Amino acid sequence: MKQATKKSGIWLGKMELSELSQIANKKGPVTAPINAGTLGGPYLTKLKGRGMEFAEARSYQPGDDVRHIDWRVTARTGRTHTKLFREERERPVMLVLDLARPMFFGSRQRLKSVQAARIAALMGWRALLRGDRVGGVMYSEKMHREFKPRGDRRHFLRLLSNIISEHNRVVDEMTKGEWNFVSKFLFAEALRRVRHVAQPGSLVYIFSDFSGFNAECRKHLFQLSKHSQLEAFIISDPLEKEAPPSGRYAMSDGEATAWVNSGNSKTRQIYTSTFEEQLKKLELELRLCRVSLKMLSTVDNVNQI
């Protein structure tokens, strides 16, 4: 495999993702939100199903909330007991990274896959600084890997190392003309697995261009949103939004080739409007699934996010 020692925008550099820990230290929230009340956890209402965990039961005292009476202990002892809770300090964070074929595209600065890996690493570093546990799911047409959430830096570095290795392996295949995938793991299948591995109350980040989004994906996202907070980074490239400068261009998906005349104003208008309509439709679908959205281009600086 090519030694990716520099930030080429095509290969991921050996230290490229780990170096983002320095950016995470400088920008973004590094502490958990302030508690809103005596019974609240470190996260507010966006955190579903977690925040407090049972500590012990003690004898009921005047002023205790009757909603927290422990009826099992009360029945067993014959005396009224109430439950005590403690704040749950760590939150599971899952990074879902799309490394499928459409992500290996880019017309300026870097591939979408590189940008997705960079923002995933940055969000992971920020989560660790908050004291959360970070895990991940990465997938392509050929592979699917899962990493359970853990709160130590060494575990996260192993996750990043796997991302770099898998990403650069695909790029090497591209450069050698060996880019022949056998479809097995798709977006919907990856989300189905996330439903099984994400604990209730997790924060789930999804980094993808959502080119594989379909009705089954919608179903999995909606089910996930019932117990977890979902945030999606939709990765795009400027060439997907706007046609190239006036001229005649060959466009290929690796199998078929078509010619496009970008000098035609009507063609340029259709090109742009098609992208915008597809994006609006996707945004509506994701909002119905209770997914928070952020757009990220291959030319954006993740340091400013």
Q: What is the 3-state secondary structure (H, E, C) of 52-104?
A: EEEEEEEECCCCCCHHHECHHHHHHHCCCEEEEEEECCCCEEEEEEECCHHHC
216 and 183 within one domain: yes
In a domain, 39, yes or no: no
In a domain, 12, yes or no: no
> 109 is written with which tokens?
């600065």
Pick the more confident residue, 273 or 4.
273
In a domain, 224, yes or no: yes
Alpha-carbon distance of 253 to 127, in angstroms, equals 37
In a domain, 107, yes or no: yes
pLDDT tens by residue, 110-131:
999 999 999 999 999 999 999 9
175 and 79 within one domain: no
Q: Answer whether 251's CB lies under 8 Å from 260's CB.
A: yes
122 and 72 within one domain: no
* CATH code of 209's domain: 3.40.50.410
299 and 198 within one domain: yes
Task: Indicate the average pLDDT of the chain.
Answer: 86
Residue 180: the pLDDT is 64
Alpha-carbon distance of 60 to 80, in angstroms, equals 5
If one counts every other C-beta atom within 10 angstroms of the C-beta of residue 90, the result is: 17
pLDDT tens by residue, 287-300:
999 999 999 999 99
pLDDT band at 89 (very low <50, low <70, confident <90, very high): low
In a domain, 176, yes or no: yes
Give me the mean pLDDT over the 4-18 stretch.
84
Residue 7: the pLDDT is 72
222 and 75 within one domain: no
Give me the mean pLDDT over the 218-240 stretch.
96
One-letter amino acid identity for 154? R
Give me the mean pLDDT over the 195-218 stretch.
95
Give me the mean pLDDT over the 21-36 stretch.
61
186 and 62 within one domain: no
97 and 63 within one domain: no
Give me the mean pLDDT over the 65-81 stretch.
90
Could you give the residue ranges of the DSSP H alpha helices within the chain? Answer: 20-26, 71-77, 112-130, 153-175, 187-197, 215-225, 238-241, 265-288
In a domain, 42, yes or no: no
130 and 83 within one domain: no
Domain range for 141 = 20-29+91-304
- Give how many domains the chain has, as a whole number: 2
273 and 134 within one domain: yes
pLDDT band at 203 (very low <50, low <70, confident <90, very high): very high
In a domain, 134, yes or no: yes
* Domain termination site, one of 68, 87, 106: 87
pLDDT band at 182 (very low <50, low <70, confident <90, very high): low
Pick the more confident residue, 27 or 263.
263
232 and 188 within one domain: yes
pLDDT band at 52 (very low <50, low <70, confident <90, very high): low
72 and 110 within one domain: no
83 and 105 within one domain: no
Q: Answer whether 209's CB lies under 8 Å from 269's CB.
A: no
Give me the mean pLDDT over the 39-57 stretch.
52
> 153 is written with which tokens?
């830096």
- What is the CA 239 to chain-centroid distance, rounded? 23
Residue 183: the pLDDT is 62
> Smallest Cα–Cα separation from 84: which of 49, 53, 61?
53
Q: Answer whether 49's CB lies under 8 Å from 201's CB.
A: yes
In this prediction, what percent of the chain has a pLDDT beyond 70?
Answer: 84
Work out the burial of residue 256: count CB atoms within 10 Å of its CB; fewer than 13 is exposed, 13-18 middle, 19 or more buried: exposed
pLDDT band at 246 (very low <50, low <70, confident <90, very high): confident
In a domain, 8, yes or no: no
